[in-house]
Amino acid sequence: EAGVAQSPRYKIIEKRQSVAFWCNPISGHATLYWYQQILGQGPKLLIQFQNNGVVDDSQLPKDRFSAERLKGVDSTLKIQPAKLEDSAVYLCASSPNRGLDYGYTFGSGTRLTVV
Amino acid sequence: GIQVEQSPPDLILQEGANSTLRCNFSDSVNNLQWFHQNPWGQLINLFYIPSGTKQNGRLSATTVATERYSLLYISSSQTTDSGVYFCAVATSYDKVIFGPGTSLSVIP
């Protein structure tokens, strides 16, 4: 089966600019996650979707970050305006349903550098 | 909230050596998963192990939920084992929290 697709692979922007990341999960996976991984740290959950509804966005900086999952399939994560501290790898993951027991499949990530 | 600690933070092994990685968590968890992040950044599931012991080839894992820790054993390490090993736990509210990871380098 095809994996989780993410684009772009790399992005360099200046602070205060906007940026968007795209994720296409594995077909049929109901749950989609966006994680932020800062260099040297473990991934931190930003937002979790169940189909096209938001389950958890408690750690999403909503003043600058937004995310949507269209028709319960593809998802986009946007940052506007970007700050230097947003430099990180943004990982998308999907699973058949909520919970670690279903197994996560991660995409390759988008490495964002804010200068 | 729940705290997840991993030790050691860094580990360098000669090829063929064995190692034990540890994950401690501060509260009861429903689920626990070990992941491997390879040097190119790809995260791969290793073990789903909320309790008990599992083995897959040279890797095995044990979780003692009552004592709030999990161990990942790597035997006869190979250079392809290099990368960062994360444990992730989920609470009763299904919120998943990753530990800070153990960075492993296996040298030939």
Q: What is the CATH number of the domain that holds B66?
A: 2.60.40.10
On whether residue B108 sits in a domain, the answer given is no
Residues 6+ apart with CB under 8 A from B26: B2, B3, B4, B68
Q: What pLDDT does A71 receive?
A: 86
Q: What pLDDT does B19 receive?
A: 97
Of A2-6, A7-11, B5-9, B82-86, the one with minimum mean pLDDT is: A2-6
Tell me what percent of the residues of chain B surpass a pLDDT of 70: 97
On whether residue B58 sits in a domain, the answer given is yes
Residue in chain A lying closest to B50 (CA): A101
**If you average pLDDT over residues B63-75, what whole number do you get?**
97
Q: What pLDDT does B92 receive?
A: 66
Stronger pLDDT, A1 or B106, i.e. the higher one: B106
**Min CA distance, B13 vs chain A (Å)?**
20
Phi-psi category of residue A13: left, alpha or beta, with phi > 0 → left and psi -120 to 50 → alpha: beta
| Average pLDDT score, chain B | 94
Collect all residues of chain A within an 8 Å Cβ-Cβ radius of residue B98.
Answer: 42-44
Q: What pLDDT does B91 receive?
A: 79
**If you average pLDDT over residues B44-70, what whole number do you get?**
96
Collect all residues of chain B within an 8 Å Cβ-Cβ radius of residue A9.
Answer: none
Q: Across the interface, do B45 and A44 touch by the CB < 8 Å criterion?
A: no
Q: Across the interface, do A42 and B95 touch by the CB < 8 Å criterion?
A: no
Tell me how many domains chain B contains.
1
Collect all residues of chain A within an 8 Å Cβ-Cβ radius of residue B40.
Answer: 108
Distance of CA A92 to the CA centre of its chain: 4
With 80 as the cut, is the pLDDT of residue B94 above it?
A: no
User: Domain residues for B90?
Assistant: 4-103
Q: Say whether domain A5-109 belongs to CATH 2.60.40.10.
A: yes
Q: What pLDDT does B95 receive?
A: 78
pLDDT tens digits in sequence order for chain A, 115 residues long: 679 999 999 999 999 999 999 999 999 999 999 999 999 999 999 999 999 899 999 999 999 999 999 888 999 999 999 999 999 999 999 999 888 888 899 999 999 999 9
Out of A42, A93, A108, closest to residue B100 by CB: A42
Q: What pLDDT does A101 receive?
A: 84
CB atoms within 10 A of CB B52: 10
On whether residue B83 sits in a domain, the answer given is yes
On whether residue B63 sits in a domain, the answer given is yes
Q: Across the interface, do A93 and B43 touch by the CB < 8 Å criterion?
A: yes
Q: How far is Cα A37 from Cα B84, in angstroms, rounded to an integer? A: 13
